[in-house]
Amino acid sequence: MTIKKVVVIGPESTGKSSLCAMLAAHFNSSWCPEYGREYLTVNGKSYQYSDLLKIGQEQLKLEDRFANELIEGQKSQILFVDTDMYVMKVWCEYVFQECHQFILEQICERKYDLYLLCDVDLPWVQDELREYPEDGPRKELFQIYKDLLINQNVPWATISGTYEARELAAIEAVKGLMNQ
């Protein structure tokens, strides 16, 4: 069985995890959470450049585990992924002005079927791991993600508006992918 992978990306506090969970429930499937949250919760909010490589490597292992579980269980033909190596690239470059070669290689090697880019038009929700509550950096990061998606060949859609509008737009985008 072949599965399709839909990646949900965007700046922090844009509803990515909530959207992944909703889409997985709607399509009776699974979603792969963002490993970085787990890593920072266990190891503390302070991190170094080398930590981002570890986070990226573990993110890929987690994604592979969820994909294999879907294939083995023949539960669904679609996996929703909260964070991929584009997110790791942006994180590395935004904070440290450089990116690990491994992450860049994985961007070229990994294949996805659809990207959903979450806009910054939702209200900021504070939690202990988030770093950029101001509108300026959030908008700048959104534009960085958008530029990345424009310059690659996988279909993508911007997801914006209220939570309900986002859900409807995301469902329609995924239905379009599944009907191909």
* Phi, then psi, of 157 in degrees rounded to 5: -145, 145
* pLDDT tier for residue 11 given thresholds of 50, 70 and 90: very high
Q: What superfamily would CATH give domain 4-178?
A: P-loop containing nucleotide triphosphate hydrolases (3.40.50.300)
pLDDT tens sequence across 108-125: 999 999 999 999 998 766
Locus of tokens 């509008």:
165
pLDDT tens sequence across 36-76: 989 998 998 889 999 999 999 999 999 999 999 998 887 77
For 104, how many CA atoms within 13 A lie in the half-sphere containing its CB? 6
Boundaries of every domain in the chain = 4-178
Q: Give the mean model confidence (pLDDT) for residues 77-92.
A: 96
